[in-house]
């Protein structure tokens, strides 16, 4: 049950990454390795500070 909720949380982080125009698979993988909570916090910080996004000219 814990593994199911862990993967479900990681899928949620990947979905949020897709909603913010980011590649979802790296965020999913990071959330599985860290924790879904840790992945969502890093995604939040990345969105706030514009990290890991290609610069458009």
Question: What is the domain partition of the chain in residue ranges?
Answer: 2-49
Note the pTM of the prediction, 2 decimals.
0.83
pLDDT-based confidence at residue 56 (cuts at 50, 70, 90)? low
pLDDT band at 53 (very low <50, low <70, confident <90, very high): confident
Task: Please compute the mean of the pLDDT values over residues 30-56 and round it to a whole number.
Answer: 87
Q: What is the pLDDT of residue 54?
A: 65
Q: Over the stretch 11-40, which tens digit does the pLDDT of each residue have?
A: 999 999 999 888 899 999 999 999 999 999
Query: Which runs of consecutive H residues, i.e. helices, occur in the chain?
Result: 2-19, 24-33, 36-49
């Amino acid at each position: 049950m814990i593994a199911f909720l862990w993967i479900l949380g990681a899928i949620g982080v990947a979905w949020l990454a897709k909603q913010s125009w980011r590649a979802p698979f790296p965020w999913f993988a990071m959330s599985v390795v860290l924790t879904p909570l840790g992945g969502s916090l890093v995604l939040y910080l990345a969105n706030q500070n514009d990290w890991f996004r290609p610069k458009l000219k």
